[in-house]
Amino acid sequence: MYRFNVREEKFGATIYDLMKGNRFYISIDELNSLYERMVFPKDLGYKNIKHSELRITRKNNKELLNCFSFADIAYVELTRGCNLRCKHCLNDSGDALENQLNYEEFRDMILKFSKAGIQEIRFTGGEPLFFLGVFDLIKLCTNLGIYTSIGTNGTLISKTVAQKLKKAGLKKAIVSIDGTEKKHDYIRGNGNYKKAMDGIDNLKELGIDVRINSVIMKENMDDIIEFARRINIKKQSLFIRRFIESGRGTNLLNNMLTKEDYDYVRNQLKSELETSKYVNGHYLRNKDEVVDSRIDIPFKIKDGCKAGERALVITPDGDIHLCGFLAAQGFPPVGNVRNVSDWNIFWKEIHNKKLLQNLEDSLPKYNETSGIQETNCLAYVQRTLTLEGKKRL
């Protein structure tokens, strides 16, 4: 069983610890030492490394661009099918798309991803457990030395399902809870809070890591504050994710938090944010979004945003995006899985084209005019540029 996923880079290597779920970078000299003597740098604290524990993706350094040699993570939307109809769903999930990729197409994509050097795949949706082949795809990733996680509403995770996920090798589940029981059920349907919390218990009993995601809006921010205070006592990891008006969320007008709202939430959760490693969130604990590269890397790494730099998003119809929020708002895809035979070539092409540069160039002006909060989020720029009746750049 692989313990480390090693992907060679222009500067050395990106290494992912498949047990702990963390990533670090080593230099060329340190990489050579790893190959020759099976040792990591002392400051990393690893001992007794075996060659059989290393999943290595070799690269031709002469061909590498001034960027990572491939994406770290792929967010793979297996289906738009879902058992819930959440009021704020950013991609209007519920019914499957007519032209969704089938199991064999997803399997072929994962094999090619592995060859290119992917280190993590998060299966999302819709509800990923609606996809019949999800357990086999997780097992495939496990055998290839790819860390797997799922983004789920949690309501379908019975003890039997949790056991299947564990057997397949799932390492982590991101489960959606949007505040207290009353507010969560208002947003996601009656009885779904208890089902989701039971699902969390079933996962944790088997040792599967769980992170709770809460989508914060004006109408539930006080409920999320209360919920965060409750679960912090249990040392449960919570990430508070921003709401964006897309999908069914376009029906929830004036629910995006302003800078003043974020300041209020930050002040209410001051103790949790300052003293606990378990509560984080967009624009609430920005110091944790800074990337510590450990070594000198010959190009800049964006803080808090992986879009186009360390991540790919695959929608159920095979479209390839650089950001899930942008995809949900109609930003054009950069390609389609069915047309990609070599992901290394594809990666070079999208970086040569600098496809997100136009939005990145808009960020400074957007931060001066938005009235929401200072942000490095391209999705907010896209929203401002496209939604009718909103302030435009």
Structure tokens given for 248? 């069914």
Q: What are the pLDDT digits (tens) for 206-233?
A: 999 999 999 999 999 999 999 999 888 7
pLDDT digits (tens, 9 = 90+) for 260-278: 999 999 999 998 888 888 8
DSSP secondary structure code for residue 169 in this structure? T
pLDDT attached to residue 182: 96
Q: Give pLDDT, residue 300.
A: 82
> How many residues make up the chain in this entry?
393
Q: Which of 131-135, 136-140, 152-156, 365-369 has the lowest mean pLDDT?
A: 365-369
Q: What is the residue whose two structure tokens read 């994710």?
A: 241
pLDDT score recorded for residue 295: 94
The answer to whether 328 touches 244, Cβ cutoff 8 Å, is: yes
**Omega prior to 249 cis, within 30 of 0:** no
Non-local (6+) Cβ contacts of 388 within 8 A are none
- Distance in angstroms (rounded) separating the CA atoms of residues 244 and 325: 8
Q: Where are the domains positioned within the chain?
A: 4-63, 73-289
Q: What is the pTM of this model?
A: 0.94
Strand partners, 172: 149, 209
Residue 32 pLDDT level (bands cut at 50, 70, 90): very high
Mean pLDDT for the stretch of residues 42-66: 90
Name the fold adopted by 73-289: TIM Barrel (3.20.20)
Region 325-337: mean pLDDT is 92
Cα→Cα distances 280→52, 239, 249, 275, 350, Å:
36, 5, 23, 11, 31
- In the predicted structure, residue 288 carries a pLDDT above the cut 50: no
Distance of CA 296 to the CA centre of its chain: 25
**What is the average per-residue pLDDT within 343-353?**
91
For residue 372, pLDDT beyond 70: no
